[in-house]
A and B are shown apart, each in its own frame.
Chain A
């Protein structure tokens, strides 16, 4: 699953542009997980501030 650290997020939309599943959405100045996420981690790599974390649960 994807964890969004809203204290770190700069609301820039970089993660939105690289997500292959169109799972993230930037609503005004609020990032939210709107659709099915496949936990690929691409958004977390792209984030310039380290605000996203993908956690793989057993």
Chain B
């Protein structure tokens, strides 16, 4: 193991992989460390991603696409379904991936571009000099070592401990942590072309339950509820078990996972001297959908692009790295994150009766735009009497 690189990347998820690939292609010496024994496992994801978004980063490949989705359905507490069809295309229709293979492929491409990849190697603390990050202390298969670098990109996911230990506040407020559980189920009756989202305080308080197909009679069946709604006897797993017992009593569970999705605002600042934070660690998950794969790839790639310039210019101070922070905030992703955060804050206040009313108001309409924005516009248009109440939503559009 070498112990000096231009760029050190912590975490081998989509953010770390894109950072490593981009940085290596730009001619840097790059090291990516991953604490787990294998890239991509265990999966902590429902594996859905928009087609257009995915294609910005990688050419779709049948090896890691489990299902091609034609429609999405949002199902309100009383069962009213809003169906969004592919021919009115947009960014929420997409693929269900096989992330075990997908994540490996991304890291594989980074390695092919020239990055060193070291698994079973955990960053335990940043190496700090005069307040600047200069690398990481690691435990590699149990053996301590120091890896020094001009820039460290922290892409360590929900836990985000690296940035925290370098002095950034990455703590997620309990109410904004989606506490999730998911089963990969087989032998169940589903619509193999539809991603289904179930809403309601009885089903998934301040969150939603999803059925994402992975083939004909197979799907990821999972749930996220707000951390503040989680308690003994009514935890994510309990809600999921109740749904499964009712809807798929004869299904077989071949994988069970748990996970957390931060739906808070992004970190106040995603750079420090010698440090950049990308992906879930930067809290750039869409607060409405909980989708973070695309945003992780986008921020990982951008971080590496900016880091490469700073290394070439010989200045990796916070100020020099700041264009990364400024650019993602000004980007489409940054704008959507801010808007969807406000939309989420509105939706968590709704009781089941209100959710039903809103769903019924647009269930029959043909939505021109397949997106969160399209939905909001339609809701406002169809509910003139509720306009005062929907003001919070309307304000998100301006």
Q: Does B253 contact A (CB under 8 A)?
A: no
Contact of B171 among A17, A26, A29 (CB under 8 A): A17
Tell whether, in the assembled complex, residue B36 and residue A48 are in contact, meaning their CB atoms are under 8 Å apart: no
Given known A12-B257, A14-B177, A28-B122, contact A48–B237 (CB-CB < 8 A) = yes
Given known A10-B258, A17-B171, contact A50–B232 (CB-CB < 8 A) = yes
Minimum CB–CB distance for A34 against chain B, Å? 10
Residues of A within 8 A of B173 (CB): 18
Tell whether, in the assembled complex, residue B177 and residue A18 are in contact, meaning their CB atoms are under 8 Å apart: yes
A-B pairs under 8 A by CB, number: 96
Cα–Cα, bound, A29→B118 (Å)? 17
Which of chain B's residues has its CB closest to A46's CB? B227
Q: Does B172 contact A (CB under 8 A)?
A: yes
Which of chain A's residues has its CB closest to B236's CB? A48
Tell whether, in the assembled complex, residue A46 and residue B174 are in contact, meaning their CB atoms are under 8 Å apart: yes
Tell whether, in the assembled complex, residue A46 and residue B159 are in contact, meaning their CB atoms are under 8 Å apart: no
Tell whether, in the assembled complex, residue A14 and residue B258 are in contact, meaning their CB atoms are under 8 Å apart: yes
Q: Which of A1-36 contact B (CB under 8 A)?
A: 10-14, 16-20, 22, 25-29
- Interface size on A, as a range, is 20 to 34
Tell whether, in the assembled complex, residue A28 and residue B35 are in contact, meaning their CB atoms are under 8 Å apart: yes
Cα–Cα, bound, A10→B179 (Å)? 12
Which of chain B's residues has its CB closest to A15's CB? B260
Q: Does B230 contact A (CB under 8 A)?
A: yes
Q: What would 13 A/B residue contacts be, using CB atoms closer than 8 Å?
A: A12-B158, A13-B157, A13-B259, A13-B260, A14-B179, A22-B161, A25-B161, A27-B35, A45-B174, A47-B258, A48-B230, A48-B237, A50-B237
Cα–Cα, bound, A13→B160 (Å)? 10
Q: Does A42 contact B (CB under 8 A)?
A: yes
Residues of B within 8 A of A48 (CB): 179-181, 230, 235-237, 258-260
Tell whether, in the assembled complex, residue B235 and residue A47 are in contact, meaning their CB atoms are under 8 Å apart: yes
Given known A14-B260, A17-B170, A28-B120, contact A49–B37 (CB-CB < 8 A) = no
Residues of B within 8 A of A19 (CB): 171
Given known A10-B256, A12-B44, A22-B164, contact A17–B172 (CB-CB < 8 A) = yes
Tell whether, in the assembled complex, residue A49 and residue B235 are in contact, meaning their CB atoms are under 8 Å apart: yes
Residues of B within 8 A of A45 (CB): 174, 227-228, 230-231
Q: Indicate with 1 or 0, residue by residue over B218-230, a CB within 8 angstroms of chain A CB atoms.
A: 0000000001101
Contact of A47 among B120, B157, B230 (CB under 8 A): B230
Residues of A within 8 A of B256 (CB): 10
Cα–Cα, bound, A27→B159 (Å)? 11
Tell whether, in the assembled complex, residue B179 and residue A46 are in contact, meaning their CB atoms are under 8 Å apart: yes
Residues of A within 8 A of B257 (CB): 10, 12
